[in-house]
Every structure is written in C-alpha cells, then in structure tokens.
Amino acid sequence: MPVVDLAVSSKRDLNAALHALPANTNETHWHIANPDGAHALAAGVDAPVTIEIDGHAGYYCAGMNSQATIVVNGNVGVGVAENMMSGRVHVKGDASQAAGATAHGGLLVIDGNASARCGISMKGVDIVVKGSIGPMSAFMAQAGNLVVLGDAGEALGDSLYETRIFVRGAVKSLGADCIEKDLRPEHEEILAKLLHEAGVEGVSPTEFRRYGSARGLYNFHVDNASAY
Amino acid sequence: MDNSHIPQTLPRFSATFDPHTLAEIRRAAATGIYDIRGGGTKRALPHFDDLLFLGASVSRYPLEGYREKCATDVWLGTRFAKKPIHLKTPITIAGMSFGALSAQAKEALGRGATIAGTSTTTGDGGMTPEERGQSQTLVYQYLPSRYGMNPADIRKADAIEVVIGQGAKPGGGGMLLGQKISDRVAAMRTLPKGIDQRSACRHPDWTGPDDLEIKIEELREITDWEKPIYVKVGATRPYYDVALAVKSGADVVVLDGMQGGTAATQDVFIEHVGIPILAAIRPAVQALQDLGMHRKVQLIVSGGIRNGADVAKALALGADAVAIGTAALVALGDNDPHLEAEYNALGTTAGAYDDWHEGRDPAGITTQDPVLAARLDPVAAGRRLANYLAVLTLEAQTIARACGKRHLHNLEPEDLVALTIEAAAMARVPLAGTNWIPGQQF
Ligand SMILES: Cc1cc2nc3c(=O)[nH]c(=O)nc-3n(C[C@H](O)[C@H](O)[C@H](O)COP(=O)(O)O)c2cc1C
C-alpha cells in the first residue's frame, strides 16, 4: 500500500505516479499524507484504484477522474471532481464552489455542505450532498442526478436542462425555467439507489421533492426574453 | 405651369438612416428578435490594409527572391510544455466547432492544415475522430460549456486552448440553434436533440486570473506538463489580458480581433463589441515585452486575416503566428459564386451569405444536414485549403525578402508605415512620409 507524504515528496511526482498506473496494477490502495490544501491532487487518474487523502485538498481535487475511488478525509476547495467521467469521489468534510462541475459520470458524495454552483453544467454525474448546497447550484445542468439532504440556496437549477434535482430540505428559490415536479415511483427508485450508494441510512426517498426543467427556454422565443 | 425645366431634388438616403438600417428597424419591429448571423464584422474598420511595408532601398538591402532562404517555421509552447509544437508555417487554423461546421468541413480543415504543416483547432462541442484522424497537430479547446470535454481527448490533443473570449463576441457565450442539433451533435454535447444549445459565457469552475492560474496548473497536472496551454481572448483590453494570461501560466496567448468570425452571434455584438486586431497587437506585444516574455510566450493573432500581406503585417507588429477562420472556410468553398442560384433561393447572394446558424449552407460547410454536408468533398476541399495556405506563406515570404529578412519573425514595426492617422496611432508606426506616430512623445 503506497503512502505518499506530500511533506517530503512533490505533488507532481504523486500525480505522475498515479497516471502511470496500468489497469491491472496491484498498487490498488494509496494513502496521501499532508495534502496541506494542494491543488489538483489526484487529478486525471484513469485506473481502478482507491486513493485516500488524509487532510484538506485545494482546488480541482480528483479533477477529470476516471475509474478511481478517491476519498478525502477533510474539506476540498473549488471544483472537486470537476468533469469526472467515472469512479467515485467521497468528501468527508465540506466542499467549496462548483463541486462536480461539468462531470459526465461516476458518483460524488459530500458528507458536509457544498457551496455555490454545486453541480454546475453537470453532464451525467450523480451527486449526493448530505448537508446543504449554496446558490446557483445545478446552473445549466444537463444530465444526471443531484441529491441534497439539507437545503438549497437561491436560484436552484437556473436554465436547467435534463438533470433531476432532489432536495429534502428547503429551497430558497428556483432559478429560471426550474420547477417542482411530481416524485414518481421511478424517481423514488433512483433516490433509494443513490442514498444507498452514498451510505445514507434511515432516510426515505419520499422525504424529497423533485425539481426539473420546465423546458420553456429550450427554443428561443421572444416572449421569454426577460427570462434570459 | 410647366415645371419640367426646374432641376429636381434627387431622392436622397440618409447616411444615418441608410437603407440597411431602415430594413433592420422594420425587421426588428416585425419579429421582436435581434438578428443572429455568422461571420465577422461587415463594416469597414481600421485594418492591415492601412499599413504598408517600406521594402529595401539604399539603406537596406533585400534578399534574392528565388535563391536566398526566408524561413517560416514557428515553435509554440516553449515556456513550460515538455512537448512544444513546431509548425512549418505560422498560419494556423482557428477553433471552429463541430456542430457549427459539418464533419466533412472539419476533416477538410485537418487535411489541408496537415499538408501545409500547420495546426487545426477543435471548438465548442468536442473533438471528432475525423478531425483528430486528419490533423497532424490538433489544438483542443477548453470552453465554458465543456461540451464533449473528456480526459481521453485531452490526452490525444497536441495542445490545449483555454477559451476566455472570441473577437466576435468578447464577454458573450455561444449559441447553436436547434436546427443544427443532429443526433450526433446532441450526443456529443449530452443534450436533447433539436433544442437551442446555449454555451455559457463564463467558465463554470473558475473566475478571474488567480483561479485561472490554478485551472491551468490542473490541466498541466492532468497532462503531465507535456502539452502547450494556450489562452484565447477577444481583443478588448489586450495589454492587461495578455499580462494576466502570462501571469496565469499560459504558454501561448491567442488574441482575436473584432473582425473575427463566429458561427452564430447577435449582429449587434459582432459589430459593436471589441476592438480591431490592428489596435490590439501592439499593446499585447508591449505587455509581453514589459514582462520580458516576448517570443517566450508566443502570441497568435486573428481576426480578418486574408492574404500574405496581412500575415506579414501581423508578424511585423510582433505576433509569432496568426490564425484564420473565415478565410479557411472560403478556401474550402464557402460563399462560392457557382452556388449563386441556391444562395438566391435563401434570399441572399454569394459572398453575403451569413445565416450559418440556420444549417442550410449549400456549400455543405456550416450545416449538419447530411445531404448538404455530403456535397463537400473533404479531400478536394482540403487540397484547396493547402493551396491557399501555401499562397499565404509565399506572399508573406515575398514581402519579408523584400525587407531583407531571413525569417518571417525578423519583420519588425520599423518595416511599416501607416496610410491613415488612425492606423498610425493604433499600430504605433509613422504616418507614411512622416516620422509622426500619433500619441507618442518625442
Ligand atoms: C464557423 C465558425 C465557428 C467558430 N467556432 C469557434 C469556437 O467554437 N470556439 C472559438 O474559440 N472560436 C470560434 N470561432 C472563432 C475563430 O476561432 C476565430 O477566432 C475567428 O474565426 C478568426 O477570425 P477570422 O474568421 O476573421 O479569420 C468560430 C469562427 C467561425 C467562423
């Protein structure tokens, strides 16, 4: 089990080693000590390994992740798991802005809160936030599911495309073209699966409300001009 | 009374309310929507035509046109990238998206550029196999929408271009209207078919130069510091934008003037936001020089480049390379007079067709209609582009030799004079026949 202490070795060497891992590597569980808020930690990994970061990470932790399971035993800065393709990123603390931005796949779990623009332009990722999310979350979100156990800030789902948003707590306000929709059995199924995968117990899918796109801005119309 | 002998006042159009303006007022009143179109600015602007080369004379001697070498190659990305790019000619193909352009057009751009020994650039919408397959050197754009963005394609790219703005619409996002969203385009962008695709104007996960620096660091980490990273800006405040791009860690700055083409933007944006490339190059070069980075961070300029003289002038003002969009499309066959009847049917005429966003391009270039797109033969069109690029290069060499230069990069502002006071002030070269550079104190 490789342990990389960033107090003595460099982030560049760490990321280079992670990128060089072959698909069948037997170095499958990495520990990173003393991350000290460094940026782009474990960014661009493309191997089925587990990487545990023991401490706080800076911007773009696990950026563009493919296949890997990345666990942060701390908080993360802006853009955790941005543009993730697959795999799993689990933040045990809080996340800053733009968590899971533009991510295409995989699962992002945040045990604490996520700041503004959580899930912005998400393109297929599933995001589960156990705390609350900040304003302008899921702005222009295209696909995937955003699940929030706490509250959501202002302008949730502004200019939303096809992402499904599930919020258990209060929503401060909905953004342009985002509306509440019925929570049907197929949505409860999706929720149950994601809650299970995120390790949430004792919470029923029926406690959530679903929000989605009214699809009113999908084709430009002059009478909608004030919404743009 | 017979007044026929009295001279009549001729009908006179207002210069302010000219026929085009009147038609636009009526169109707006009838539809309630602004005009969206492709292409660049259509009105006359101070441009490279307002500059002249002095050539050799008694005090300078020229190179022999047919015998003495005038090199044209350029290195891009030498600051940080482990694998900088080496091009045979400093004329690159600008980023134009698959979606805006047909797959055939993208392939043709790749073929032509590869024959000429230069690079092509992806665009909003991601990388297509056609383009990667045919482009020896491919620059991968990193845009606010991140449509189609994925690490596998980043690794396949030869360089990454972080797009902050475009000359046609600095501060604006993008738009691909529903008519052009085929199944393939929709799938690449993870969006439903047939809806208007808005591209955001700001990046989703960073704002400002301090964040940009961290974003560039991330892209370098992901690509193991191999690939050059470009930053593209629309020309607005070039001195500060270039300085901040350098500070953020760019290897290459791409500066696009207001004449630069677009696939679909509001006409009011195209014609009224940003500054001409002529006015932008000197402040950009000044920023590089002030930071000791001229020629270390390379500068690529674009916006209305048409011929080898434009190329030579851009380089003489201090750019390392240029990029072309519109001219490359024309070389492929855009707006060709042989399609006049079809342009007429669309209510326009060859040379003026700019409804590129509607996807009905009879030349098969700015369309996703399979029947129209199939009209463009990527091999023949690529050959035309290669020929055109060869002419641009030869023309630039012709001028450089006449100025006594062994390399295009040896051209300098001292080789130029201006025809107008505006151009003299913007390009910071003397008005022809004088030693007066407006705005400079002696
Ligand atoms: C059809 C078309 C599509 C374009 N798409 C993009 C794009 O996706 N991203 C981008 O940065 N610029 C885009 N541009 C702008 C070009 O990269 C370039 O800045 C411009 O065309 C240069 O000016 P020129 O057309 O006068 O040569 C596009 C331009 C055209 C004509």
Atom of ligand 1 nearest to the CA of B329: 31
The closest CB to that of B204, out of A46, A120, A162, belongs to: A120
CA of A216 to the centre of ligand 1 (A): 29
* Cα B400 to the center of its chain, rounded Å: 23
The closest CB to that of B205, out of A78, A104, A218, belongs to: A78
- Measured CA to CA, the distance from residue B354 to residue B263 in angstroms comes to 9
CATH number, position A133: 2.160.20
Domain assignment present for residue A216? The answer is no
Model confidence over A152-161: pLDDT tens digits?
A: 999 999 999 9
Domain assignment present for residue A206? The answer is yes
CA of B415 to the centre of ligand 1 (A): 30
Residues in CB range of A205: below 8 A, 6 or more apart: A183, A187, A188, A189, A191, A192, A195
The closest CB to that of A218, out of B196, B204, B206, belongs to: B196
Domain assignment present for residue A219? The answer is no
Domain assignment present for residue A221? The answer is no
Place of tokens 């300029």: B301
Q: Residues of B near A (CB-CB distance < 8 A)?
A: 31-33, 145-146, 149-152, 154, 177-178, 189-192, 195-196, 198, 200, 204-206, 211, 214-215, 217-218, 221-225
- Candidates B286, B88, B271, B245; CA nearest to B167 is B271
CB B274 within 8 A of CB B52: no
Model confidence over B374-386: pLDDT tens digits?
A: 999 999 999 999 9
**Is residue B337 classed as helix, strand or coil in its secondary structure?**
helix
- Candidates B407, B440, B429, B388; CA nearest to B53 is B429
The closest CB to that of A43, out of B145, B178, B218, belongs to: B218
> Are the Cβ atoms of B221 and A11 closer than 8 angstroms?
yes
The number of domains in chain A is 1
> Are the Cβ atoms of B218 and A63 closer than 8 angstroms?
yes
Question: What's the pLDDT score for residue B209?
Answer: 95
Q: Is residue B191 very low, low, confident or very high in pLDDT (cuts 50, 70, 90)? A: confident
Q: Is residue A225 very low, low, confident or very high in pLDDT (cuts 50, 70, 90)? A: low
Q: Best substitution site from B96, B201, B329 to test ligand 1's pocket, by max atoms within 8 Å of Cβ?
A: B96
> Are the Cβ atoms of B151 and A64 closer than 8 angstroms?
yes
> Are the Cβ atoms of B204 and A123 closer than 8 angstroms?
no
- Measured CA to CA, the distance from residue A156 to residue B179 in angstroms comes to 29
Q: Nearest chain B Cα to A223, which residue?
A: B32
pTM of the model: 0.96
Average pLDDT along chain A: 96
Tell me which residue range forms the domain holding A50: 3-210
B265 pLDDT higher than 60: yes
Query: How many other CB atoms are there within 10 angstroms of residue B348's CB atom?
Result: 15
The closest CB to that of A98, out of B31, B178, B204, belongs to: B204
Domain assignment present for residue A215? The answer is no
- Measured CA to CA, the distance from residue A35 to residue A19 in angstroms comes to 18
Strands (E), B3-82: 36-37, 51-53, 74-76
What's the mean pLDDT in B278-294? 98
Question: What's the pLDDT score for residue B231?
Answer: 98
CB A183 within 8 A of CB A151: no
CB B416 within 8 A of CB B51: yes
Q: Is residue B180 very low, low, confident or very high in pLDDT (cuts 50, 70, 90)? A: confident
DSSP single-letter state for residue B415:
G
B176 pLDDT higher than 80: no
Question: What's the pLDDT score for residue A74?
Answer: 98
Domain assignment present for residue A225? The answer is no
Q: What are the DSSP calls for A170-226, one per residue?
A: -BS-B-TTEEEE---HHHHHHHHHHHHHTT--S--GGG-EEEEE--TTSS--GGGGG
A227 pLDDT higher than 70: no
B178 pLDDT higher than 90: no
Query: How many other CB atoms are there within 10 angstroms of residue A13's CB atom?
Result: 11
> Which DSSP helix (H) or strand (E) runs through B133?
helix B129-134
Best residue of A218, A221, A228 to probe chain B, by most B CBs closer than 10 Å: A218
DSSP single-letter state for residue B106:
H
- Domains in chain B, CATH or no CATH each: 49-98+112-120+134-322+385-427 (3.20.20.70)
A139 pLDDT higher than 70: yes
CA of B97 to the centre of ligand 1 (A): 8
Atom of ligand 1 nearest to the CA of B163: 11
What's the mean pLDDT in B327-347? 97
- Residue B222: list chain A partners with CB under 8 A: 15, 40, 43-44, 63-64
CA of A101 to the centre of ligand 1 (A): 25
Looking at per-residue confidence, does B340 or B125 come out higher?
A: B340
Q: Best substitution site from B42, B166, B255 to test ligand 1's pocket, by max atoms within 8 Å of Cβ?
A: B166
Looking at per-residue confidence, does B61 or A209 come out higher?
A: A209
B135 pLDDT higher than 60: yes
Looking at per-residue confidence, does A99 or A224 come out higher?
A: A99
Q: Best substitution site from B47, B161, B180, B262 to test ligand 1's pocket, by max atoms within 8 Å of Cβ?
A: B262
A228 pLDDT higher than 60: no
DSSP single-letter state for residue B11:
P
Domain assignment present for residue A135? The answer is yes
A222 pLDDT higher than 80: no
Model confidence over A17-43: pLDDT tens digits?
A: 999 999 899 999 999 999 999 999 999
- Candidates B183, B214, B212; CA nearest to B370 is B183
Atom of ligand 1 nearest to the CA of B39: 31
Q: Is residue B150 very low, low, confident or very high in pLDDT (cuts 50, 70, 90)? A: very high
| Amino acid residing at A51 | I
CB B176 within 8 A of CB B194: no
A223 pLDDT higher than 80: no
Q: How far is CA A35 from CA A14, A83, B143, in A?
A: 11, 21, 29
Average pLDDT along chain B: 95
**CA atoms B164, B168, B174, B176: torsion sign:** negative
Query: How many other CB atoms are there within 10 angstroms of residue A19's CB atom?
Result: 18
Question: What's the pLDDT score for residue B441?
Answer: 67
Domain assignment present for residue A228? The answer is no
CB A210 within 8 A of CB A194: no
Atom of ligand 1 nearest to the CA of B254: 19
Query: How many other CB atoms are there within 10 angstroms of residue B9's CB atom?
Result: 5
CA of B231 to the centre of ligand 1 (A): 14
CA of B263 to the centre of ligand 1 (A): 7
Integer Rg of chain B from CA: 23
Model confidence over A107-121: pLDDT tens digits?
A: 999 999 999 999 999
As given in the structure block, the two tokens for residue B359 are 């996807």
